[in-house]
Amino acid sequence: MLAVFARQIKPLCSQKAGYCAGLASLLLLAGAGAVRDATALNETRTLSFHHTHSDEDLTVTFKRDGRYDEEALKQLNHFLRDWRTQDKIEMDRRLFDILWEVYRDVDGKQPINIISSYRSPATNAMLRRRSSGVARFSQHMLGHAIDFYIPGVPLEQIRYAGLRLQRGGVGFYPTSGSPFVHLDTGSIRHWYCFSPHRSRRFRNRGDQPERRPCQLCHQPDEEGRAHLDHRARALRFHRPWHRQRYR
């Protein structure tokens, strides 16, 4: 239909041939995008997980022929519960699409290892008392975030896959006790978190992004709020994702 419309507008714009040609091309490209979207909508999507705290495993098909499977989503809500309090929430289903696309992009073979997902207000408050590196209004409390790694896949490769999607927040924690990548469905942004020793090595390699003091080493400043005084063990690196040097 878009192609027919493009042909119909052509005689109306004979004096503006360049403009019309461009418009027709845009319409045809939009049509091609619509075809790709329709194909994606008909996909069946399955994910496999291992929870590093509860030691539970789950393989679930959360999307069948482009439609979310509500029973599968309930399984995911339970699996990704707050492992400390056993509280659960309805997870943002878009998060599973992001995970699936990242997993496909990096050609993952082993289950996704979960470090953290839903975090109850009580757990978040407890963690904030223990560390200033916990955001007061964390995306984890909304069921919008997940911290994970994929065995056999370099952490940086997972991070780059998340950045390429441009679908939410991407945090990079390569020197955490259990190194992980943070993904969420919030606003599009990204951050690094390295230990001071690692940051010196990073600078010495010649890839030197802008450095800012970070109070949020263990958890990112997910809401874009101002940092407190720098007393943390890590430095925060940030610059627009398209200017990163992909190594």
192: closest CA among 164, 206, 211, 167?
A: 211
Q: What percent of the chain has pLDDT over 90?
A: 52
pLDDT in tens, 167-183: 999 999 898 888 999 99
CB of 174 closer than 8 Å to CB of 199 = no
- Tell me which range, 27-31, 108-112, 199-203, is most confidently predicted by mean pLDDT: 108-112
pLDDT in tens, 28-44: 444 444 433 444 568 99
pLDDT in tens, 145-172: 999 999 999 999 999 999 999 999 999 9
Q: For residue 117, what are its two tokens?
A: 């997902």
Mean pLDDT of 63-75: 97
Residue 16: partners with Cβ closer than 8 Å, 6 or more residues away: none
99: closest CA among 42, 188, 170, 179?
A: 170
Q: Which of 13-17, 124-128, 143-147 has the lowest mean pLDDT?
A: 13-17
Specify the pTM: 0.66
pLDDT band at 106 (very low <50, low <70, confident <90, very high): very high
Res 193: pLDDT: 76
Topology (CATH level 3) of domain 45-243: Muramoyl-pentapeptide Carboxypeptidase; domain 2 (3.30.1380)
Cα 240 to chain centroid distance, Å, stands at 16
Res 195: pLDDT: 58
- Higher-confidence residue of 137 and 56: namely 56
Give, to the nearest 10 degrees, the angle between helix 2-9 and helix 17-41: 170
Q: What average pLDDT is seen over the chain?
A: 74
| Distance, CA of 149 to CA of 78 (rounded, Å) | 20
**Which residue ranges make up each domain of the chain?**
2-41, 45-243
pLDDT band at 208 (very low <50, low <70, confident <90, very high): very low
Res 135: pLDDT: 78
Residue 97: partners with Cβ closer than 8 Å, 6 or more residues away: 45, 63
Mean pLDDT of 108-129: 94
Res 136: pLDDT: 85
Mean pLDDT of 43-71: 97
pLDDT band at 228 (very low <50, low <70, confident <90, very high): very low
| Distance, CA of 141 to CA of 63 (rounded, Å) | 24
Q: For residue 184, what are its two tokens?
A: 């969420």
CB of 25 closer than 8 Å to CB of 2 = no
| Distance, CA of 79 to CA of 72 (rounded, Å) | 10
| Distance, CA of 59 to CA of 48 (rounded, Å) | 4
| Distance, CA of 69 to CA of 159 (rounded, Å) | 28
| Distance, CA of 194 to CA of 146 (rounded, Å) | 19
What's the CA angle centered on 220, arms 216 and 225, to 5 degrees? 80
Q: DSSP character for 112? A: E
Res 133: pLDDT: 63
